[in-house]
Amino acid sequence: MLKLFFNAENNFTFNFFKKNVEHIEVDITKCDYIINGVIPTGMIDIDRINNLLGLNNIDNKKYVTFLISDCESELKLKKNTILFRTSTNKKNKKNNEFVLPHIIEEDLKFKFEPLLKEKKPNIGFCGYFCGDFTKRKITCEEFKNSDSINTNFIIRDKFWGGKPGDKTLIDEFKKNINDSHFTICNRGVGNFSMRFYEVLSMGRIPILINDNTCLPFEDEINWNEYIFIEDNPKKLLDSVLNFWENSSQEDVIKRQKKCYDLYLNYFSSNSYGKKINEILITQKNLAD
């Protein structure tokens, strides 16, 4: 069992590890890893992040850190640190960096109900565009201009409509996903999408443009069996339509159920905690 030392006050990182990663808590002199939750959620200042990553870093100790942020830049990461980060980029991802999925901070009480196949697929998106989100806009436009699909788009003028946490907006967001066979999950400011994991958790199919995208567990998950990811909107539309035209009702339901099961087995809090446990044990054995 992992022996962990927690080096500061409670925060999301510490609470996640204490609740979801099997361990015993020990003194710093006896630990396998120091859980180093020193980076505030949302921090994007590269210099400050690098400073916090190196803060109190002792060369003969192993550290584990979460970076929940839009920052996708290459960081000065020491070999004794394992970083789980939400925003990643294949061009500069290091071997001791791992994709941190969006952790949905609520009990998964959703009961999977498939959305049956119709003549045309329903393509959903609920969110906003701005200067940084050009690919969201052009992807929505590509799909909206197609006569072969039904679009289910709600375009906001601000992040979360300017009211993060508003129950009405959250309900509209979830209904948009639930009423759509596919949901566009292109990146935002950071190179990741919270929407991507929300869609999986509801048993619907994420579709997105590849932007040097790093998906979690690519060495064990064949993502092409679950989602659609292409280099441009035209290819993405063609892939979705090809699947739709060549799939039966059973195929469509099976694909949705696979997405739901994938979320349960990998990305629910408890399941992802088990995967972190496996990663840390593997990394420890490699270093020993």
What pLDDT is stored for residue 161 in this prediction? Answer: 67
Closest C-alpha to 154, from 167, 165, 170, 134: 170
Look up residue 131 and give its DSSP letter.
Answer: G
Domains of the chain and CATH, by start: 2-101+269-287 (no CATH), 122-267 (3.40.50.2000)
Rounded distance, CA 185 to CA 251, Å? 22
> What pLDDT, on a 0 to 100 scale, did the predictor assign at position 114?
97
pLDDT of residue 106: 62
The two three-digit tokens of residue 21, written as one number: 């990663």
Structure confidence at residue 159 (pLDDT): 73
* Whole-angstrom distance, CA of residue 164 vs CA of residue 41: 15
pLDDT of 107 reads 53
Report yes or no: 33 and 4 within 8 Å, Cβ to Cβ.
yes
Give the pLDDT score at 105. Answer: 67
The answer to whether the CB of 174 falls within 8 A of the CB of 153 is no
Q: Tokens standing for 263?
A: 């979320």
- SS3 of residue 256 by DSSP: helix
Q: Are 47 and 62 in contact (CB under 8 A)?
A: no
What pTM value is reported for the model? Answer: 0.93
Q: How many CA atoms lie within 13 A of 92 on its CB side?
A: 11
| pLDDT at residue 186 in the model | 95
According to the model, what pLDDT value does residue 101 have? 96
The per-residue pLDDT string of the chain (288 residues; one tens digit each, 9 = 90 and over) reads 999 999 876 688 999 999 999 999 999 999 999 998 889 999 999 999 999 988 767 778 899 999 999 999 999 999 999 999 999 999 999 999 999 999 886 655 678 999 999 999 999 999 988 655 578 899 999 999 999 999 999 998 877 766 777 889 999 999 999 999 999 999 988 999 999 999 999 999 999 999 999 999 999 999 999 999 999 999 999 999 999 999 999 999 999 999 999 999 999 999 999 999 999 999 888 766
